[in-house]
Amino acid sequence: MAEKTIHFKIITPEKIVYEDDVDAIYAQGKAGSFGVLPNHIPFMSSLAIDTAKVEKNGETKVFSIIGGAFQFKNNEAIILTEVAECGSDIDTARAQLAKERAEAKIASAETQRDIKLANMALAKAMARLKAASK
């Protein structure tokens, strides 16, 4: 009989951010967005700095994901990432300040390295704000 859920974990070096049986997973890979339902074929992807969404019993949780890797096999999925936060736990005022600081750094950047670092900070802040708004 086919499985009806996916056992899913989001893991950072510090802790397991999320672990549960879910109905669906949606994330942003570096090559584009993807979704996984129970009984999907084995699948791996590198992840963009963006969000991941899980659905369970009609409810949705959104997480900010700061890059990493996604793996799915035998109805078990895992995201390994340096940083992940549940959208409901994000301090939006702090994330908005980080976004504004990054935008100011981009405007005043003098080297390609400064621009790259500021763009990375902006992407992280935007992912956090996106997760918090859903």
Tokens of 26: 């949606």
* 24, 38, 55, 87, 127 from 124: Cα distances, Å: 24, 30, 23, 13, 5
pLDDT in tens, 67-99: 999 999 999 999 999 999 999 999 999 999 999
In DSSP notation, 19-63 reads: EEEESEEEEEETTEEEEE-TTPPPEEEEEEEEEEEEEETTEEEEE
Query: Domains of the chain, with CATH numbers?
Result: 6-87 (2.60.15.10), 90-133 (1.20.5)
- Asked if residue 1 has pLDDT above 50, the reply is no
- Asked if residue 20 has pLDDT above 70, the reply is yes
Amino acid at 45: S
Q: For the CA atoms of the chain, what is the radius of gyration?
A: 16
Question: For the chain, how far is it from start to end, CA to CA, in angstroms?
Answer: 34
Pairing relationship of beta strands 16-22 and 6-11 according to DSSP bridges: antiparallel
Q: What is the pTM of this model?
A: 0.88
How far, in whole angstroms, is CA 101 from its chain's centroid?
22
pLDDT in tens, 41-64: 999 999 999 999 999 999 999 999
Quote the mean pLDDT of the chain. 93
